[in-house]
Amino acid sequence: MVRVGLTTERVVRAGAELADEVGFDQVTVSELARRFDVKVASLYSHVTSSQDLKTRIALFALEELADRAADALAGRAGKDALIAFANAYRDYGREHPGRAAAARLRLDPETAAASAGVRHARMTRAILRGYDLTEPDQTHAVRLLGSVFHGYSSLETAGGFSHSAPDSQESWTRILDALDALLRNWPTAPTL
């Protein structure tokens, strides 16, 4: 009986890789066991359930993405920061579609509150300090940016923008230009 050296950490990391390969919702404890060449029951010492595994992968992805976004943000401000930050999201989604899907998993409120999700929100807000927005507009803008990053990545992964001109990269660049322009010129009052 050779010990493989399983830890929750390693299991989750392997789960993230599996998600990128086969899709987040195809991630299964059984498949993971196969990859470690270990019996299924053994993994249940490290995760409590299949759901637990998925939640941990989601938290892992949120952390990893937050780290990347923080790196991208370092030393930048204004439109530069916006673009670098946005690209961190899009690139992550393209490189790691499974993990990105995991990061979109619905978490229960307490779990979400303790997750790296709050770092994401803080960073988005930091970017907006480069624009002239006061509350509550800043919050509206945070939500808009979250929706766009989230939504674009999701649609792009689903293949929504492939096989049609103009290519996705061009749309992305122009959308970021547009968002920058919008943030610099955020409408103050509803145009009724």
Partner DNA sequence: CTAATTTGCCTAAATGCTTTAGGCAAATGC
Partner DNA sequence: GCATTTGCCTAAAGCATTTAGGCAAATTAG
Interacting residues with a second copy (CB under 8 A):
25, 79, 104, 106-107, 109, 112, 136-137, 139-141, 143-144, 146-152, 154-155, 157-161, 163-166, 170-171, 173-175, 177-178, 180-182, 185-187, 190-191
Q: Is 107 exposed, middle or buried (0-12, 13-18, 19+ CB in 10 A)?
A: middle
Give the Å distances, CA to CA, from 109 to 113, 118, 186: 6, 12, 31
- Helix locations, the chain, DSSP H: 8-22, 29-36, 40-43, 50-73, 78-95, 97-103, 109-113, 117-128, 137-157, 168-184
Measure the CA–CA gap between 92 and 99, rounded to whole angstroms.
Answer: 8
74: partner contacted, choices a second copy, DNA, none (Cβ within 5-8 A by kind): none
Nearer to DNA, 28 or 168 (CB): 28
**Radius of gyration over every alpha carbon of the chain, rounded to an integer in angstroms:** 19
> Under the criterion CB under 7 A, does residue 5 sit at the interface with DNA?
yes
CB 147, min distance to a second copy, A: 3
> Under the criterion CB under 7 A, does residue 184 sit at the interface with DNA?
no
**Both tokens of residue 93?**
């989604």
DSSP 3-state of 19: helix
> Under the criterion CB under 7 A, does residue 22 sit at the interface with DNA?
no
Nearer to a second copy, 41 or 188 (CB): 188
- CB-hemisphere CA count at 13 Å for 164? 6
CB 105, min distance to DNA, A: 15
Nearer to a second copy, 4 or 118 (CB): 118
> Under the criterion CB under 7 A, does residue 108 sit at the interface with DNA?
no
Footprint (CB under 7 A) of DNA, residues 26-55: 28-31, 38-42, 44-45, 48-51
Of the candidates 54, 158, 147, the residue with the CA atom closest to the CA atom of residue 97 = 158
71: partner contacted, choices a second copy, DNA, none (Cβ within 5-8 A by kind): none
Provide the 8-state DSSP code for 39.
Answer: -
**Both tokens of residue 192?**
């009724």
140: partner contacted, choices a second copy, DNA, none (Cβ within 5-8 A by kind): a second copy
Residues found near DNA in the complex (CB under 7 A): 1, 3-7, 28-31, 38-42, 44-45, 48-51
